[in-house]
Structure 1
Amino acid sequence: MKILDQEQIRQKTKRLAIEILENNTEANGLVIAGINNNGMAFAQLILEELLQLTEQDITLTRIRLNPAAPDVEQIMLEMPLEQLHGKAVILVDDVANTGRTLFYATRPLMEGMPEKIEVAVLVDRTHKSFPIRVDYVGLSLATTLKEHISVVLHETEELAAHLN
C-alpha cells in the first residue's frame, strides 16, 4: 500500500527544510549527514530545498554503516571530523524504525564536537528501542512490528513510500 507519493514526499521535504532553517538560524553552518543509500538520497532532497531557501553554509556528507551490525563493523563518515566542530548536524534517514541505526550513526558525529545533532526522517515508526528522538518528521506512522516500510528515493523517476 502506497503511503506517500512523489508529490507528498516533495511537500514534506520542503516543510522539513523550512523547519530545519527555522530551528538553526543561529547555527555556524549546517551539516546534512545522510545514512547509507536511502538516507543519503533523502538528505540530498533536503539539501536541494535548503539551498533554494537560504545562502547559509551547508555541507552534505554520508555516513556508511551496516544496519545489521553497527556495533561490530566500522562506521564511516565521509568528511573530516574537524569540519563538524561547532556546527549543527542534521542526521537524515528514510525511516526511523527501532532507532538502532540512528543511534549508532551518532557515534562518529560526537567525535567531531558539533554544536548539536538533530534527526530528520521521512517516515517515523512509533516503536523505538533506542533513545532516539526524531526532530523533523515527514510522516509519523503507528505500525505493527511485522509490517515493513519501503522507500524509493533514488534511481527512479517516481518517489514513493510503501507499507508492506
Structure 2
Amino acid sequence: MKNRVIILDKERIAHKLRRMAYEIWEHNCDETAVTLIGIESGGKAVADNLAALVKEICPLQVTVLSVTINKKNPLNHALDFEENLTGKSVILVDDVTNSGKTITYSLHAILSYDLKKVMVAVLVDRKHKSFPVASDIVGLTIATTLQEHIEVEIQGSEITSVYLQ
C-alpha cells in the first residue's frame, strides 16, 4: 500500500462541512426548501452531514435522497427515490470529484425532471476534469497528480478523515 497523508482530519472536516452548509444557505436563502442528492456511497454521507448542519443554521426544509451510479456502465443509473423533483432546487453532493464523470452521469439521471435549479457540492475537488463540470460549493480544492488518489474514510454516517495516497 502506498503512503497515506492525511489532508483533512475530523476537526477540519467538521469545519469544511459547516462552511459548506452556510454556502448552501447563502445560495438558497430565497428558497423554502432544498433537496440534497448524495451520490452513493460517499456523497450520501456528505449529504446527510450537510443536511443536519443546514437544519441547525437556517429555516430551510432539507430533504436527502440518493443516486447510485455504476461506474462501469454509467448510463445504467438508479435513482434511489420516487420523489418528484419538478420545480425543486437540487444540490447534487459527492465526496470527491475527479474527472467529473460520476457527477455528469448523476446529473443525467436527475435532469429528466424540470428542476428549478441545480448546484454541485463536493467535499474535495480535484482539478483533473475530463467532463465540463464545475463544483459550486467545495470544502477543499486540491491539486494532485493523476497517479495520486483521494480516499475519504466514513464510519457509519460520520466522515472521519480524508487521505491523499
Q: Cα distance, 1:56 vs. partner?
A: 1.7
Tell me, what secondary structure is at the counterpart of 2:124?
strand
* Counterparts of 1:128 and 1:33, CA distance in 2: 21
Q: Any residues of structure 2 matched to 1:140-151 within 5 Å, and which?
A: 140-151=141-152
* Counterparts of 2:122 and 2:157, CA distance in 1: 20
1:57 aligns to 2:97 (yes or no): no
Q: Any residues of structure 2 matched to 1:63-78 within 5 Å, and which?
A: 63-71=67-75, 74-78=76-80
TM-score, normalization by structure 1:
0.93
* 8 Å CA contact retained: 1:28, 1:87: no
TM-score, normalization by structure 2:
0.92
Q: Cα distance, 1:53 vs. partner?
A: 1.2
Bigger drift between 152-161 and 126-135 goes to: 152-161
Aligned residues: 161
Which position in structure 2 is the counterpart of 1:10? 14
Q: Cα distance, 1:94 vs. partner?
A: 0.4
Q: Which runs of no fewer than 5 residues in structure 2 stay unpaired?
A: none
Identity of aligned residues (%): 39
Which position in structure 1 is the counterpart of 2:107? 106
Judging by fraction of residues, say which structure has more helix. 1
Q: Any residues of structure 2 matched to 1:9-88 within 5 Å, and which?
A: 9-71=13-75, 74-82=76-84, 84-88=85-89
Q: Cα distance, 1:157 vs. partner?
A: 6.7
* Counterparts of 2:100 and 2:54, CA distance in 1: 25
Q: Which runs of no fewer than 5 residues in structure 1 stay unpaired?
A: none
Tell me, what secondary structure is at the counterpart of 1:14?
helix
Which position in structure 2 is the counterpart of 1:128? 129
